[in-house]
């Protein structure tokens, strides 16, 4: 959980103690008072007075917005300061059990008012971005690394929903430091690496949200930074992300080339997780162009990596989602491309029932399973599984990308009568409309 998504943070804002609230986030981010002050161009003494609520700096809505951007706090999380109550739900402004629609709608309208006020104030002050500190050190590197890790962890559990702008803001701030701040060679290399990771997670959140243009821009900048830092692991992951974009756009030969490049770039990396995921996806890339032999070869190689163990404590957080279940579902994707729909459906089914998974993974596997049943023409089973998946996407999991994976089910529902088909059409349309 993010520090800004806690009852303590919301209560402090609602009580008119923004300094106390922002202290919680600063400490969770691993920033000292001096480090935070450098980012804001405040001296350490002033930061201390702000955090003790001895001065009203953060009562200025422009300064509140600046500080939120620097710490990666989404604007929606500032609602308690506007409403003077901590009872505004989580970052999605949603309570999924017995939600009060009027309260939620009021919160959403208030969020728009707050966002507009912050934007207007920043524009009128002619200072939309935080000032760049003169000197960057390990403190700032730790802050951005911790921010990237929290973004990855949130996506691993719940998907991209609500996090894209906060990620892009942090990526932009880190890029600004690289471009304009002062730092030694070692710090510059470390900052380039963590900024590349921020660019990768920003691109992924954009991709998952359906914003392909932002994803492409983030990936491009992130790859340059990974090269600058000499970080082959992050570079390989970014290249693989570009592969996924090409794949989404139907450019299968380009996707295969990028997949081979990613695998080659990671060749010296010891992480079994990274090697397994890249090799498995290479298998899917071969399947997508009809090369069964190479597909089978690379899938077998991926399972050999799984046998090495996917539990290295030194693996970065961005790789923690890679499990044996994840590799199974990737193999199922390959089977679908090869026309082995029964086999694919069986793998998805077994993966769902293999044990407890993060909610994002369960939603993902159920969406794929529903789509595979649609491939088989099993309308009633596809609708039943699709409705189960939709319940997760209407709840804590927010991933327009995964909702879109159920397009085959929606196509069936359009030509099917009955209550299940009608319910699926309505709920699917609602989710895709919100995402748009």
- Cα(first)–Cα(last) distance of the chain, in Å? 27
Give pTM, 2 decimals.
0.77
Whether 155 and 205 have beta carbons less than 8 Å apart is answered as yes
Kindly tell me if the per-residue pLDDT of 125 is higher than 50: no
Least confident of 39-43, 83-87, 191-195, 234-238: 83-87
Torsion of CA 51, 54, 55, 61, to 10 degrees: 50
Q: What is the pLDDT of residue 104?
A: 41
Residue 84, judged by CB atoms within 10 A of its CB (0-12, 13-18, 19+), counts as exposed
Token pair 């090869």 is at which residue? 338
Model confidence band, residue 212 (pLDDT cutoffs 50, 70, 90): very high
Residue 97, judged by CB atoms within 10 A of its CB (0-12, 13-18, 19+), counts as exposed
Whether 199 and 222 have beta carbons less than 8 Å apart is answered as yes
Per-position DSSP letters for 408-423, written without gaps between them: HHHHHHHT--SHHHHH
Q: What is the pLDDT of residue 118?
A: 47
Q: What would the two tokens of residue 405 be?
A: 């994976």
Higher-pLDDT residue of 102 and 243 is 243
Kindly tell me if the per-residue pLDDT of 320 is higher than 50: yes
């Amino acid at each position: 959980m993010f520090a800004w998504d806690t009852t303590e943070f919301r209560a402090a804002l609602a009580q008119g103690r923004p300094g106390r609230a922002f202290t919680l986030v600063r400490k969770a981010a691993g920033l000292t008072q001096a480090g935070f002050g450098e980012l804001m161009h405040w001296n350490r003494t002033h930061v201390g007075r702000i955090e003790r609520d001895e001065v009203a700096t953060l009562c200025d809505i422009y300064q509140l917005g600046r500080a939120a951007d620097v710490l990666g706090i989404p604007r929606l999380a500032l609602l308690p300061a506007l409403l003077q109550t901590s009872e505004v739900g989580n970052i999605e402004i949603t309570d999924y059990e017995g939600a009060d629609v009027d309260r939620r709608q009021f919160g959403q309208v208030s969020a728009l008012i707050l966002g507009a006020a912050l934007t207007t104030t920043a524009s009128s002050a002619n200072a939309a971005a935080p000032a760049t500190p003169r000197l960057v050190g390990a403190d700032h590197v730790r802050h951005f690394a911790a921010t990237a890790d929290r973004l990855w962890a949130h996506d691993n559990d719940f998907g991209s929903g609500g996090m894209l702008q906060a990620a892009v803001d942090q990526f932009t701030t880190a890029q600004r430091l690289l471009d304009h701040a002062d730092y030694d060679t070692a710090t510059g290399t470390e900052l380039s690496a963590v900024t590349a990771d921020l660019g990768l997670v920003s691109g992924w959140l954009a991709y998952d949200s359906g914003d392909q243009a932002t994803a492409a821009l983030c990936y491009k900048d992130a790859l340059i930074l990974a090269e600058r830092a000499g970080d082959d692991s992050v570079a390989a992951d970014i290249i693989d992300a570009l592969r996924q974009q090409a794949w989404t756009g139907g450019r299968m030969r380009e996707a295969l080339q990028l997949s081979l490049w990613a695998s080659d770039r990671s060749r010296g990396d010891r992480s079994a997780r990274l090697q397994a995921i890249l090799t498995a996806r290479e298998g899917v890339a071969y399947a997508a162009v009809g090369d069964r032999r190479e597909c089978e070869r690379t899938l077998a190689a991926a399972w050999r990596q799984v046998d090495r163990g996917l539990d290295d404590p030194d693996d970065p957080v961005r790789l923690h989602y890679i499990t044996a279940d994840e590799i199974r579902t990737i193999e199922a994707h390959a089977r679908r491309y090869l026309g082995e729909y029964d086999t694919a459906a069986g793998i998805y089914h077994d993966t769902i029932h293999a044990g407890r998974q993060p909610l994002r993974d369960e939603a993902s596997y159920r969406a794929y399973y529903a789509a595979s049943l649609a491939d088989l023409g099993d309308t009633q089973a596809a609708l039943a599984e699709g409705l189960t998946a939709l319940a997760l996407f209407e709840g804590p999991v927010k991933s327009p990308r995964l909702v879109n994976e159920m397009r085959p089910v929606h196509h069936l529902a359009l030509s099917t009568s009955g209550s299940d088909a009608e319910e699926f059409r309505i709920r699917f349309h609602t989710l895709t409309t919100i995402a748009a």
